[in-house]
Structure formats: structure tokens, C-alpha cells
Chain A
Amino acid sequence: MALRISMGQYVPRGSCIHRLDPRAKVGAALAVMITVFFVQTPAQLAFALAFAAAVLGLSKVPVRQALRSVRPLVVMLFLLGLFNLLYVQEGHVLLALGALRITTDGLWYAICYPLRFTVAVLMGALMLFTTTPTQLTDAVDACLAPLSAVGLPGHELAMVFSLMLRFIPTIADEAQAIVDAQAARGGAVGEGSLAHRVRAIGPVVVALLASSAHHAEGLSRALDARCYEGGSARSHWHPLHMAGRDWLALAICAAYVVVLLLLGML
């Protein structure tokens, strides 16, 4: 079912990517994800795809699992790419059928945009696959340190982010259960006309909100009972410290960004 999301789940493997300091990992992943927007030429696209494939290989995350988790998004991106194919009118005309004109530029955008987003989505997925939620929280916490310094709830935001990841599978399972329960009561979600489907989704959303509120209540009780009071006085079982390999990873990432930008100027 499309509702079952496998994204964001930690995949325990002892790879060099897993061992990286989460701050280095998150920083590098963000850098790669942002710089995909500079990808304009085939050379750049090939380079970015090769880099993503190399990271995927190093992470030892099963390729099928990684691809499966990004598939729904990628499919959607390619569908959006079709609009480019039909809409962009610059470049040489490849095909003209009445009002429909497909040009070289249109074709290129239809290929390039989804693929460069695929790189970004894959890097994000790999970051989640190779980092435990606790590490991720620590990394986000470190990134949000400037917020905390000026009195904004940086630590708390990091915790919310990590809890969100923790509860995605739980809520997804519950959504499935609700859809099943309503299917068994004749309220088939995902059948019939668009209007019918929109109406059928209402009860699912209400039931899901109710159960989420229930979880939130239990969770807040648990956080209180476990003395969670924000970041200030917390200690860390595995304190973060940047080792040589983390700096090396950042250097490789920086080199990647420089080469990517240079390729764009050729």
C-alpha cells in the first residue's frame, strides 16, 4: 500500500557512512541536496548521479530498499516532468502535432529536473537510513544551536523532529487499519469517482487525528515521566566529536560541490 512508508527508518549496517559524525553527515547531505539545484548540464547531472551512487554503495544499505523508499516521490517528480515536456517551447522542435510541440529543451528539462531531485531525495533517504534518530536529534540540535543561544526552542524543535520520525511508521500502520475498518463497513476509500474518494477520506482523517491526539497525550506523559526538560542539562551517552574521517568526508563533499560548479561553467 502507498500508505506504508519505509522512509526514515534506521538500517543498522557497520558502514563508514554509518560511523560518520551525524553533524558532518547532515551538513554534507544538506550541501549535496542544495547544490542539485545548480545542475544544468548533462555532465553535471552525470557527475551528481555518480556521486549519489557512490554514497549508496559505501553505505551498504540494500539498493532495492533505498530505491523502494524513494520510488513514490520519484514517480511523482517524473509525472511533473511531463509538464515541462509539453510546456517548455525553447530549443529545436523535435515533434509537432497541432498545438503540441515537443522541443529539445523541453525534453532535457523533463529528464534533468526529476533526476536531479532524485539525487536530493536519495541523499536525504540515505542520511535517515544511516543515522539513528538519537544521533539525528543531536545533529539537528547542534545545527539549531544558534536558535537556542538567542532563547528560541532549538533543542525542543530537534526533539520534535526526532519524535516525528519515530511515529511515522506507527501512524502509517494506524491509517492502514482505519482504511481497512472502513472498507469492511462498506466505505471504500480509493474507489469510485474523485468526489466520492474525497468524501471517503474525511472519516479516515478524523479517526487518524483522534488517534494521533491520543498518542500525543501518552507521549507527553512519557516525556514528563522520563524527565525530559529540553536540552540544557542533558548528557549524551555517545557524545559527538569530529574525528579525522568526518573532516575527510566534509572535504570530499566540498570537493564534490566545487567540481559540480566548475562543470557547470564549462
Chain B
Amino acid sequence: MQPSATIARGDAAVSLSHVSLHFETDVQALVDVSLEVAPGERLCVLGPNGSGKSTLASVICGLLAPDAGSVTLVGEPVLRDGAVDFAAYRRARRNLGLVFQNPDDQLVTTVVEEDVAFGPENLGVDPAQIGERVRRELHRVAMQDYAKADPTRLSGGQKQRVAIAGALAMEPAVIVFDEPGALLDVRGRRSIMRVMDALARDGITQVHVTHFMEEAFAADRVIVLDHGRIALSGTPDEVFSHERELRALGLEPPFAARLSELLRDRGVDVPWTCDDAELKASIASACAASHPTADDSGEKDAAPEVEAQTQPAPQDVAVSVEGVSFSYAGSSATRGGAGSRGALEDVSLAVRRGSLTSIVGQTGSGKSTLARLMCALETPDAGRIVVGGIDTRPRKNRRLVHQRIGYVMQHPERQLFAETVWQDVCYGPRNLGLDDAEVTRRASRALELVGLSGREQVSPFELSGGQQRLCAIAGILAMRPAAIVLDEPTAGLDPRGRSELRRILGDLHAHGVTIIQVTHSMEDAARSDQVVVLNNARLLMAGAPREVFTSHNAKMLRECGLGLPAPLAWAIELREAGVSLDLRQGSAPLTTESLADALAAVATPDPRDAHDQGGD
């Protein structure tokens, strides 16, 4: 694609000078921001939620005019010292593309190719050229086989790629990505990153707004926003070296950075870096230096000794799934792409009382269906599900089941409805028919657990996105269920929100609540008591993380679209590079800390005892 002719050579594609913007609520969204984006540059804007990064994205793609400062977009001076030139804005917008979080809101028709054609049609492009652009852009995002498909039936990642093709078909000089991966699973995020890499190779100017630091590596330049100000700016390496500031802002350093820091704490001689390849090479040399003859790979690839998994006694089982099959074909209209194929086929498992169980599997594997079945929102076609001794099938049992097992569905904040946080949280306990004193007690305890005490009289719609989710979760906790099922509870949260939620789940777990979470994060799964792996509607395996996540199973997990927890994946690669790590079942590292400990033991002949540095 040729960059638009409106930018003269050497001029910035986007130029912001001393820009400030505030919303009616007196919130300063941007404070004195100055920024230039060169043609062909790939800029990444990092920041936690509420840092003003989405506002900045809107300003850059011409959808929001700041209150003060000057803005020049693709050669059009749209704002001069706070004076808006609407005609210039309209001209500039024709050369700016935007892709944002929710792909559902960006698609305007129900045929993929028609949707990609929508933008060019709006620009008045000649019909013969539109067909050419649609073909080219669908090919670029690898969606050419879906030209006639209905986008509402595609996966999130596919939808988002259609949205990208739709933006590219308008041949913008600059394309802005506003958290395009926030609502996607790991696989969807990776596919978006691949598309962005391809665009960078084609020389297309990109501005990428995200809170995932891993996604910022490939950028030419990174800026970090904090409370509407540019806190840090530079190449990815320069910015990431300010680790303490980044952590203070609630951003999570990439895995390599965390590992290199832990290793340095343990006295291993590696440089601080966030570059995967560099860190692996230095670890390999550090370990080779201390163990010149470290090559004892003989005994490693023996099949893992299968530990007989002790079946929990019946009274210890919180949820028992016995030979369950389920298909959506029976309901009047089939949606969700499952077709008439079973959504679950002959799945059996037991969840021990008080345990933390993770259900993993790629999109469409039946995870959410299993969660819905456990909560008695569907009943199995065959087999049965028993929750706390109660069969979910009889209609009269459902209310009892709902009291015993709480269900936090995906994006629970979308189900908030009451005037105040307090009323929303009380809804469940009131339905249980409890007296006022008990309702009050439970609601305030639930709000305390999620850290929303003091916000009782606020409207739930005024809370931030992360707080809305916590409020919705409090609504479930107030019912005091013995077990709680969460469907992707951390999806769409920034790192601070994710760690907050992990802390809450940890608290509940410590109080003896059975927790079942559907998750895309192998790191979260590695921290649970039991991992259940679903693939194509069937149970692939179930067991403790150390039984499921082994080098032996790595290939099988990868084949069903799952990865290994990063520490184990690193350990396997490092061993292949000659580091003598013990990867037998039971001793393979599943957390960053245990990987660092294991490496420290190999690297230094006389390891300091670093085990007391636990925690995460």
C-alpha cells in the first residue's frame, strides 16, 4: 500500500503539541502531551486502564478534538491552539484507520466481504477498485477463505482480523489499534500480532495501544502513559529497563525481564534484559561455565511415571461430572458455530471440595458449556452432574443447585442492572429469602472481600471496568456459595486488575470455597490444584498441574492449541540448549520462582539458599 500522498516526505504522520483534554467529570484524560509519529513508524502506547491511552488513540485517529494544544494529522492542521478545524478533521479522517477492542461493535454487516467493502464505499471508491481492495486485504489478514461467511459466527480473533481488513481497505496513512487483543484469547492475540508484523514490513504507520508489555517488543518506539502524561518514552529496551517505574504503574514486565531479575537476585551472572533470545543465550553460557561437563540427558525422556490419582471419597466431591454429553442442536436456533456436533461428549471428572480447578482448552472445546452445565443452566443430554449431592437435572433441584454453586460468566459486568452497587449485590441474597440483617451482613462482607467497601451507594455504571467486574463477582459471593464457577474471570483486565482478581480468588480458596475457573492462561492453570484439559468436546486429561504440564505432554498440548506455562516452556528450551535441568515429572518448574531456583542451583556450584524468597 502506498502511504497517502497528503504527507510530504520527512513530515510527521501525526504530530501532537502540548495537547490537553478533559472530560465533563473534570477528569484530566490527557495533560500536555507532545508526540510525533514518523511515516512508517510502529509506535506502541502502553499504560494501565485509566491512563488516558484510549483517549490518545481517539485523538490520533481524529475522533476526539482536544481542548488545548495543536494537532496535525496526516498533513492536515486539524487543531491550532485549541481551535478546531472541522473541515480539516473530515479530510484527515479519510486517511486514518481505527481498530478497537470489541470486534462485535465494529462490524456493520453480516457478510465478511461486504463489511470490508463498507469503508471504501463510504470513501466513494470506484466499484472496480473496491473488489480488488477487498481481495487484497482479506488475503493480508489470512481471511480470504471466509469472504462469504457471517462475521458474527467467527471467533474473536477472526472477527478482529476482518475489522483490520476493513480499516486497511480504506488505505489509511496511519492505522490506530486501540487494545485490539484485550478481549481475545492467546491464540487470537498472536494472530493479530502476526498481522501487525506484516503491516510493519509493508511500511504502514501503526499506533498500537495496549497494556500487554510483551506486545510492545516489536515496536520501533514505546511511550508509557500515566494519568494522561507521558511517563516514559524511547525504544522498547530503553523503556523496559525502567522496571520499577513500570511496576509502580501496574504494568507487568515481560517474562524474560522477570526471570532475569529473579536470577540476578539469586546471584546468577546474567544481564538484565527483556529479550528472550539474549537471556536464553546468557543462561546457557552461565550454566555451561559452572558445569562444563553438564550433559546427563540420558535419563530424561523416560515416560513420566503415572501416579495413580486417588479418587476423592464421595463426601469430598463438590462437583461430580459423570459421562456427560451435551449438544446445542436440541435448542430451537443453533448459534455459536458448534453446529449439530456435540458441544461435550462423554466427559467425566470430579472436583474435590475446597480445591482450585482450572478448565483449559481452545475456543470451541466445550469449556464454557461444561461451566454452564455445572451451574444447572443446561442439563446434560446423557450422563449426570451432581453438585454437593444434588443432581442438576430435575427442575425442582435447580434453585437448590444455584444456591450451592455460584456462576460468574464471561464479562459479568455486562449483567449489572441496579441503581447502586449495594442493591446489585443484595439481589442474590434477597432472592434466597434471607432476612434483612443477614442480607446486609453478606453484602457488606462480599464487598469487603472484593475491596469495594465504601462504594455502596455509587451506581455500578460509574465504576471503572475492572471495578464493575469485581462488583458483579461480589453479587455472586454474597450468596455464599460453597463452590464458584468463573468463566475467564481475567479476560480484558489490565495486569493490576488481573493480580487483584487472583488475590481475591486466593482468599476465597483459603476460606475453603471450591473454585472452578475456565481460563486461557496456562500460568493461572499451573497455580491450581487440578487442571482439566478439554479438546474437541472431549476430556483430554485431568490431573495436578505437575501431571498435566510435562515435557512429555508438550506436543499433545500444542496440538490442541494450548501452550505450556512459560517457565516450563523455557526450561525445556534451555535443556535443549544444554542446561542440565531436571524435567522429570514432579520436579519440572511451573512457576517463574521455581525455574529461577532450579537455574540458580545449576549455575552456581554452591547455591545460596534462595528458597525463602517465595511469593509472586
Contacts and interface: CB of A to CB of B under 8 A. Distances in A.
B428 A166 contact: no
B117 A237 contact: yes
Interface in B328-350: 331-333, 335
B98 A177 contact: no
B105 A218 contact: yes
A166 B110 contact: yes
Nearest to B406: A184
B428 A185 contact: yes
Contacts of B93: 224-225, 227
Interface in A193-235: 203-204, 206-207, 210-211, 214-215, 218-219, 221-229, 233-235
A215 B106 CA distance: 9
B152 interface: yes
A2 B332 CA distance: 8
B127 A203 contact: no
A10 interface: yes
Contact of A235 (B94, B121, B335): B121
Contacts of B432: 186
Interface string B44-65: 0000000000000010010100
**Number of contact residues on B: which range applies?**
35 or more
Given A226-B122, A226-B170, A237-B120, A186 B110 contact: no
Interface residues of A, number: 57
Contacts of B275: none
* Chain A interface helix/strand/loop/mixed: helix
Interface stretch (A39-47, A52-60, A167-175): A167-175
Contacts, number: 181
B108 A166 contact: yes
B332 A4 contact: yes
Interface stretch (B26-34, B409-417, B511-519): B409-417
Interface in A129-173: 132-134, 162-163, 165-166, 169-170, 173
A224 B94 CA distance: 10
B428 A227 contact: no
Nearest to B433: A186
Contacts of A203: 417-418, 427
Contacts of B272: none
A210 B427 contact: no
A237 B121 contact: yes
B123 interface: yes
B184 interface: no
Interface string A4-17: 11100110100000
Contacts of B123: 227, 235
Contacts of B150: 9-10
B126 interface: yes
A70 to B, nearest CB: 13
Contacts of B152: 166, 169-170
B375 interface: yes
Interface in B291-343: 331-333, 335
A181 interface: yes
A210 B418 CA distance: 11
Contacts of B105: 215, 218-219, 221-222
25 contacts: A4-B332, A68-B333, A132-B109, A162-B109, A166-B108, A170-B152, A177-B414, A178-B417, A180-B409, A185-B475, A186-B399, A207-B416, A210-B414, A214-B414, A221-B100, A222-B98, A222-B106, A226-B119, A227-B94, A227-B170, A228-B122, A234-B122, A235-B123, A235-B124, A237-B131
Given A133-B110, A222-B108, 18 more contacts: A10-B150, A12-B111, A162-B108, A166-B110, A170-B152, A183-B402, A184-B375, A185-B475, A203-B418, A207-B415, A210-B416, A225-B98, A226-B122, A228-B118, A234-B122, A235-B124, A235-B125, A236-B121
